[in-house]
């Protein structure tokens, strides 16, 4: 079984997120999503989420491409996750291009093109107008 992992906040879930998850799943049989916790988002990313971790987790678990949701609690856990979950392919959006190349010694690293016309940041900005 080929295992794939991706990371993100997945707040205000939209079709760009679904596109990413669908394309990530094509790299293997089992997709793990490491979902940023509320504490990690606030303390490290300086983001406040509209939906709580539990609500975002519940939404992700309802998506057919997602097999497992785990908490992302810090920047450093990626290598330990790759090892613990026997990951074959690490997938991220291309806005992170090159940032996770250090994982190539343990698994394939793929950067997927983002869906250009949608982002959570854009949705939040549009709602403030």
Instruction: Give the residue numbers annotated as catalytic, written as ranges.
Output: 45, 47
Look up residue 125 and give its two tokens.
């900005």
For 118-125, which contacts have Cβ atoms below 8 Å and span 24 or more sequence positions?
Answer: 118/14, 118/15, 118/16, 119/16, 120/9, 120/11, 120/12, 120/14, 123/12, 123/14, 124/12, 124/50
CB 34 within 8 A of CB 53: no
Residue among 38, 30, 77 at smallest CA distance from 55: 38
Residue among 13, 122, 100 at smallest CA distance from 65: 13
């Amino acid at each position: 079984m080929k295992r794939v992992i991706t990371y993100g906040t997945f707040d205000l879930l939209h079709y760009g997120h679904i596109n990413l998850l669908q394309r990530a799943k094509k790299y293997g049989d089992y997709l793990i999503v490491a979902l940023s916790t509320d504490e990690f988002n606030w303390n490290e990313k300086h983001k406040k989420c509209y939906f709580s971790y539990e609500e975002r987790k519940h939404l992700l678990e309802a998506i057919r491409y997602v097999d497992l949701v785990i908490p992302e609690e810090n920047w450093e856990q990626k290598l330990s996750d790759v090892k613990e979950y026997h990951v074959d392919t690490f997938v991220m959006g291309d806005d992170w291009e090159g940032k996770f190349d250090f994982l190539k010694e343990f698994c394939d690293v793929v950067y997927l093109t983002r869906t250009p016309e949608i982002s959570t940041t854009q949705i939040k900005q549009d709602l403030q107008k």
